[in-house]
């Protein structure tokens, strides 16, 4: 079992901030999870929602803002929206990272950054968009990818195999021994029950 801090230590610090990742590391987690979006000027930043309203003092869609504009916002307790590079630099050598891709089309840029940071073996790149896994595998067959689903598919394992994903991220209420056994039988060895931070 591995403990994963969802958006960092998001119950204790502002979510998806460097402060939340540092707190998670101090708490002894095995991995942190972060969400990645793309700014209007093509920069990768760590933020969950498509809009800025809930977690910052900004307003409107993040995708319409430049990195410079985002750097002026307060993401809670004086924290800023970090770039993905800043987040990776903060956790590198300390914990692994689950990167959730929010914007399909950013796969190659994310993968190149992970490689620059020499973190390919420390990272899982996941998404609700299963074509993200396919794209990543076409770019680098060795990178670990995962698919996320918040409902019960007809055949979740077939869905994962079709996406060439290494890991399944089912919502916790759909995680069952049958699903785990079937996944393991098909070579999918890691499953994560969302909201349970549990690898089986």
Angle formed by the axes of helices 84-91 and 107-116, nearest 10°: 40
C-alpha dihedral (165, 167, 168, 171), degrees to nearest 10: -140
For the chain, the domains span 1-104, 128-200
Least confident of 8-12, 30-34, 35-39, 146-150: 146-150
pTM, two decimal places? 0.94
Interatomic CA distance for residues 48 and 166, integer angstroms: 23
- Position 16 scores a pLDDT of 98
Sign of the C-alpha dihedral computed for residues 49, 12, 114 and 167 taken in this order: negative
So which residues are the catalytic ones? 6, 48
Q: What is the mean pLDDT of residues 104-125?
A: 98
- Measured at the alpha carbon of residue 88, what is the angle toward residues 82 and 93, in degrees to the nearest 5? 145
Interatomic CA distance for residues 14 and 71, integer angstroms: 15
Measured in whole angstroms, the distance separating CA 44 from the mean position of its chain's CA atoms is 13
Interatomic CA distance for residues 163 and 195, integer angstroms: 23
Q: What is the mean pLDDT of residues 17-43?
A: 97
The CATH superfamily of 1-104 is: Phosphatidylinositol (PI) phosphodiesterase (3.20.20.190)
Considering only CA atoms, which of 77, 75, 67 is closest in space to residue 34?
75
């Amino acid at each position: 079992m591995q403990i994963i801090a969802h958006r960092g230590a998001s119950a204790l610090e502002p979510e998806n901030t460097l402060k939340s990742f540092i707190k998670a590391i101090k708490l002894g987690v095995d991995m942190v999870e972060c969400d990645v979006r793309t700014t209007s000027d093509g920069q990768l930043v760590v933020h969950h929602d498509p809009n800025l309203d809930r977690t910052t003092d900004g307003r409107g869609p993040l995708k319409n803002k430049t990195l410079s504009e985002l750097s002026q916002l307060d993401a809670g307790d004086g924290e800023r929206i970090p770039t993905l590079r800043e987040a990776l630099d903060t956790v590198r050598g300390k914990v692994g990272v689950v990167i959730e891709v929010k914007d399909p089309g950013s796969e190659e840029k994310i993968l190149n950054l992970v490689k620059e940071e020499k973190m390919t073996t420390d990272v899982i790149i996941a998404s609700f968009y299963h074509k993200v896994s396919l794209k990543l595998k076409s770019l680098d067959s060795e990178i670990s990818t995962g698919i996320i689903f918040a409902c019960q598919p007809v055949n979740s394992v077939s869905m994962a195999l079709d996406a060439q994903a290494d890991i399944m991220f089912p919502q916790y209420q759909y995680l069952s021994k049958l699903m785990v056994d079937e996944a393991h039988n098909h070579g999918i060895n890691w499953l994560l029950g969302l909201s349970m931070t549990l690898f089986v």
